[in-house]
Amino acid sequence: MTETVTVELGKRSYRIDIGAGLIEGAGEVVTAQRPGVRCAIVTDDNVDAAHGDALRASLDKAGIGHTTLSVPPGEPSKCYAMFEKVVNGLLEARLERGDLVLALGGGVVGDLAGFAASVTRRGMDFVQIPTSLLAQVDSSVGGKTGINAPAGKNLVGAFHQPVLVLADTGALATLPPREFRAGYAEVAKYGLIDRPDFFQWLEKNSDEVFAFGPALAQAIAASCRAKAEIVVADETEKGQRALLNLGHTFAHALEGACGYDGARLVHGEAVAIGLVLAHEFSNRMNLCDADTVVRVCDHLKKVGLPTKIGDIPGPRLDADTLSRFIAQDKKVKRGRLTFILTKGLGQSYIADDVPPDEVLAFLKEKLTPSGNNLS
């Protein structure tokens, strides 16, 4: 059974289909929306091996011409070199402005393919076909596309909405357990932003989510509805949409300090640590009670996610390096730090002008041997 969530953006509205077998049926859906269209599948080598043939067979069955552009898996592919490769590949395939880019993969592929689509021929439409839990509940929805720069994560990009999202829950069965767990951090985030009832539901139903039971599709749909509501209210992140970055200011700094090395830290793991840090920092600022911090940490730990900076393997990180990455965060306005903080479970808010000295002192505390954020 397929569940549908709609992102209501007027003439640019699009639906998110959630269910099993959607990759195998993609050709029929695409040709119904765009008769006579040609497509470029942008994917990575691992996803292509797992799902590329099924998508190509579906396009062939629908009589849709297609080409495939594949990049290496992992965060390092969100870079200028791979962006250039994809754009040139679209042009060399002689795809026209009215053709479609199909982003088949996780968040890296979706961000990269969407950004390439946004600029090629001054804007091509694209379809998100997310194959990771993180992408299905977060990065495939809302139109944020982009690549990383040496100065920080996602600093180069564009808002470019997809025309359709096909979230095939069957594809999640091929994910390594670590990647599935990482995606769950983004699911939990929606409860912690402003849906405490959803977080409570996750506390009761996370075992079924991880067992690929009916609760999995329910959690994905609830997450997509939560994100869609915020995106509709603030499409280009002038205000309320920044709430979706709960935990992400810390998370992006951790990823940058680790050199975007997925062996050490993947995005969802960084988000899990970032969610705990955001609640701990809120507690330090006398905004959030300690019981809420413990509850958040315990749930993420229960599902196997890291919750401390000390959980990250490899060389020890330092507060000054993390602070430099935080200073490059997209939410910085004229040098002032903006964080998403919380007053309790599901009570997050946008905090402007957070004192940099407070953040640095907090990070130094977390990184001292006596800090409570070390193993």
- Residue numbers annotated as active site: 122, 144, 186, 227, 237, 241, 245, 248, 252, 267
Q: Which amino acid belongs to residue 358?
A: E
Which parts of 51-176 fold into alpha helices (H)? 53-61, 80-92, 107-119, 133-134
Sign of the CA dihedral with 328 first, then 332, 336, and 342 last: negative
Cβ–Cβ < 8 Å for 245, 340: yes
Q: Count Cα atoms within 13 angstroms, Cβ side, for 33.
A: 17
Give Cα separations from 113 to 48, 124, 161 (angstroms): 14, 10, 12
Cβ–Cβ < 8 Å for 171, 131: yes
If we measure between CA atoms, which residue out of 336, 199, 365 comes closest to residue 275? 199
Give Cα separations from 15 to 18, 126, 161, 225, 234 (angstroms): 10, 13, 11, 11, 18
Residue 115 token pair: 């950004």
Cβ–Cβ < 8 Å for 164, 128: yes
If we measure between CA atoms, which residue out of 64, 71, 108, 65 comes closest to residue 89? 71
If we measure between CA atoms, which residue out of 228, 193, 227, 224 comes closest to residue 349? 193
d(CA 20, CA 1): 7
